[in-house]
Chains A and B, each alone.
Chain A
Amino acid sequence: MSGLTNSRSRGLAVFLLVLPLVLFLLSLSIGTYGIPPRGLLKTVLSVVSPASQPDVPAAYRDILLRIRLPRVLLAMAVGAALSVSGASLQALFKNPLVNEYILGISSGAAFGAALSLVFLGRAFPPQIAGFVFAVAAVGAVLLISGQAESHFITLLLTGIIVTAFFSALLSLVEFFASPYVLQALFFWLMGSLSLASWKDLYISLPLIAAGLFVLYLLRWRLNVLSMSEEEARSLGVNVRREKILVIGAATLITAAATAIVGIIGWLGFIVPHLVRMMFGADNRRVVPLSAALGASLMLVADDIIRGASAFEIPIGILTSLVGIPVFLILLKKTRKVWL
């Protein structure tokens, strides 16, 4: 256990697991067009049985079902996906500084999705190319840095190089994009939930759910995989196979998220840290609680964006602006203790 006593930590864990549900309901009513809780309830009832609630304004239904619900669901899915992906990769690479961005996954996915949007149009799901290039990027990072367990510095430098390469390719794609597509691309790259539509969700949500489920099942195994490779092998783990499984699932959920919301930095980095600080390193707790906390923070961030200003700041900018100072404070305050 970390600093928390058993009962306090259990209470906090329950709170964290319930939090996304509460925030989910709250988020549905927040926005430029506020919907009071009663209106929310009535609208939900009117969907279930239209005859029972004849007086529900049509605007409520439209806003709730067509705009807000997909957006809120997407925020939760993306928050959970990035956080769990970060937690898993950190355990696998035995380093709390690893994240999907360092491994090139984000830039690969962003390039793939942009390529798809520019050359294949919005009708073609960008998740496919996003995933393909995310795999290519992480594969390149692992191959070039030798083996996955090589020194962190090597991994970091290779990640920087591969990320730079895919960023250059992305610029090339932007160069060929029409001004109209370019504008959309620009917003999307900064990380934005405003483009959320059911069509995107139909593809990304199942992919994220599947990847999250695999990583959730593997949560105890992640403890064993966080040992040195020799130790893990001696403990009876087929290291190569399970490593591919974890990287594959983490890449899938990151790519599925990035393909529709762009690059949202720092969440996958900070959320697992916070969870480890509160609950210790055991991934049986870190994985589900990172999902809950990630989903909650993403909802809060999106609520702030939707509620605070008339125009929308891309959420990726907000997470970075808040995330970086938080990270620095954590680093200074705790040094290596929470590792």
Chain B
Amino acid sequence: MSVRVVNLEFAYPKFSLHVGGLTFEKSKVTAIVGPNGAGKTTFLKCVGAVLPIPKGSLFIEGRDLASLRSRERARLICYVPQEHDTTFNYTVSDFVLMGRAAFVSPFALPSREDTEAAAAALDFVGLAGYADRSISELSSGERRLVLIARALAQQSDILLMDEPTTFLDPKHEAEIFQLIRKLADERAKTILVTLHSLEMAVQHSDQMVFMKRGEVVAHGKSAEVFEDSLLERVYDMKMKIIEWEGRKIVLR
């Protein structure tokens, strides 16, 4: 499914976001990068309608996101938070099952079908054996995977991931990126991901969006848009891109 941003505006007391025209296509991974406070997460939350957005600013396959009911929206688009901080210590299977909320009436229990969908999602991220463990027993990397599994159980075609690899070691980071690629390629998901690591962003994304102070500075195919001058402009510091074995590395 494609997401079209027409003219998105959102304001906090001391920060405002304005994004003009952008389109995100299916089977493509878009990395959203920029300095702290650029509005990456706010943008992601707006696209996921987690934050209230005005009508006529976001369209999924031509349908205005702001006019959809919560349940309909959740079946199309899913926001995956950076970390999950719950007071209650649910088991992994109970947690992933919550991804089915959009398919279950508020007054009902999840059906066998829901349970199976949740189990399949857990299996997809490689944590099938973790179903009965409790969330607090998991490592940070495993918790990220469980968050992704919950998003998969939701079966929405558009996934918005907020810094899914922050604080992860290189191995777990690579695993998450493999998973993201697999979701785009095998499940034709439209994926938006905010990232801090520029190298990871350019290596694993098809498209990049550079943000600064609540606005989009540049966007385009990752291989084309990723240049020294743009990085310097976005981050206000000297940066140089070098290539090593076909990969781009940023010196600073």
Enumerate chain A interface residues (CB-CB to B < 8 A). 1-2, 91, 94-96, 217-221, 223-224, 226-228, 230-239, 242, 245, 276, 280-282, 284, 337-339
Give the residue of B78, B89, B101 whose beta carbon is less than 8 angstroms from that of A281: B89
Check B98–A227 contact: CB distance below 8 A: yes
Check B87–A234 contact: CB distance below 8 A: no
A-B residue pairs in contact (CB < 8 Å), sample of 8: A95-B87, A96-B88, A235-B74, A236-B70, A242-B106, A245-B106, A281-B89, A339-B89
Residues of B within 8 A of A233 (CB): 49-50, 70
Does B75 make an interface contact (CB < 8 A)? yes
- Roughly how many angstroms separate A109 CA and B106 CA in the complex, as a whole number? 28
Residues of B within 8 A of A224 (CB): 98, 101
> How many Å from the CB of B144 to the closest CB on chain A?
14
- Roughly how many angstroms separate A221 CA and B154 CA in the complex, as a whole number? 15
Does B104 make an interface contact (CB < 8 A)? yes
How many residues of B are counted as interface, with CB atoms below 8 angstroms from the partner's CB atoms? 35
Q: Are A235 and B109 also in contact (CB < 8 A) when A227-B86, A338-B89 are?
A: no
Check B104–A220 contact: CB distance below 8 A: yes
CB-CB contacts below 8 Å: B84-109 with A: 84-91, 94, 98-99, 101-102, 104, 106-109
Does B134 make an interface contact (CB < 8 A)? yes
Residues of B within 8 A of A235 (CB): 74, 98-99, 101-102, 154
The 4 A-B pairs of least Cβ separation, nearest first, read A236-B74, A236-B102, A281-B88, A234-B79
- Roughly how many angstroms separate A231 CA and B160 CA in the complex, as a whole number? 12
Chain A proximity mask over B174-206: 1 for CB below 8 Å, otherwise 0: 000000000000000000000000000000000
Q: Smallest CB-CB separation from B72: which chain A residue?
A: A236
Check A228–B90 contact: CB distance below 8 A: no
> How many Å from the CB of A220 to the closest CB on chain B?
5
Enumerate chain B interface residues (CB-CB to A < 8 A). 45, 48-50, 69-71, 73-75, 78-79, 81, 84-91, 94, 98-99, 101-102, 104, 106-110, 132, 134, 154
Interface centre among A94, A233, A237 (most CB of B within 10 A): A233
> How many Å from the CB of B245 to the closest CB on chain A?
38
- Roughly how many angstroms separate A233 CA and B85 CA in the complex, as a whole number? 16
Interface centre among A2, A219, A230 (most CB of B within 10 A): A230
- Roughly how many angstroms separate A281 CA and B84 CA in the complex, as a whole number? 16
- Roughly how many angstroms separate A232 CA and B101 CA in the complex, as a whole number? 9
Residues of B within 8 A of A223 (CB): 90, 94, 98
Interface centre among A223, A231, A235, A280 (most CB of B within 10 A): A235
Check B70–A281 contact: CB distance below 8 A: no
Check A234–B78 contact: CB distance below 8 A: yes
Check B81–A228 contact: CB distance below 8 A: yes
Residues of A within 8 A of B104 (CB): 220-221
Check A220–B86 contact: CB distance below 8 A: no
